[in-house]
Amino acid sequence: MAFEYLGGGWPISRRVRGAHRRSWERLASAGFWWTGVERVAIAAECRRAAALAAGESADSESGAAGLGGGRVGLPEAAVHAVQKIVVDNANLSREWVEEVCAAEGMSEERYIELLGVLVHVFSIDELHRALGIPLEPLPAALAGEPSRRRPTGARRVAGWLPITPPDALDAEDAGLYDNAPFAANVLTALSLVPDNLPWLADLSHAHYLSYAEMRETGKVREISRAQQELIASRVSVLNECFY
């Protein structure tokens, strides 16, 4: 079973293990716009970018098993996008994103799904790196075709790309925002591909806080809320992230 954490020596909670396993299941499955093979290849490219940015060879980062499927079938623009987002996220621009989305084999929907896959895999890998434990080998891709469903209510509201706002959900996406009439921009940002949002909520709960826990003022994790927010702010500053 993936994410056993048998040899690392750290007390990884069941909450985290479970979310990581569900993440690998999501990663391996066909999405809305990429196949499972392509999604795993995006994850492998994410690892390659992180390794090279750290001055390591890709193989030294995770071993052949960790890199999984490599560059199978990814458009050149997708590979470039992964590298840029992993390594140089502070300098992304509207023009750059538009160029990526217009490139051969890409689209707005494919970019958003790529970003969703990338950030979740990167987050899990960053947790491993911060703890000094080996990366989990990438999963074997599952068969299946992308649904290619674009939400009918998707539109530009804020940011560079369309989102699916809470007031324009299709029936199959009804629970996407837990019936909230409003959601912060960072929560709607990936909603052009609705499957990104449950993944976002699940891993946020595991690594940080659930949306309900965010409203609590007391200590929820082993470090206090103030300590969590301090780390969050520091990471944002180090990344020069204005948001």
| Site of interaction with other proteins (CB under 8 A) | 9-13, 16, 54, 85-86, 89-94, 97, 112, 115, 118-120, 122-124, 126-127, 129-132, 158-161, 184-186, 189-190, 200, 203-204, 206-208, 221-224, 226-228, 230-243
Q: How far is the CB of 236 from other proteins (least distance, A)?
A: 6
Closest CA to 70 of 138, 143, 136: 138
Between 84 and 142, CB nearer to other proteins: 84
Count of C-beta atoms within a 10 Å radius of residue 22: 16
Q: How far is the CB of 177 from other proteins (least distance, A)?
A: 14
Between 63 and 144, CB nearer to other proteins: 63
User: What's the CA gap between 54 and 87, in Å, rounded?
Assistant: 10
Between 41 and 206, CB nearer to other proteins: 206
User: What's the CA gap between 23 and 127, in Å, rounded?
Assistant: 14
Q: At 40, list the tokens.
A: 């795993």
**31 and 14 Cβ atoms separated by less than 8 Å:** no
Q: How far is the CB of 7 from other proteins (least distance, A)?
A: 15
Residue type, 243: Y
Q: How far is the CB of 145 from other proteins (least distance, A)?
A: 26
Catalogue the E-assigned strands of 177-229. none
Between 142 and 157, CB nearer to other proteins: 157
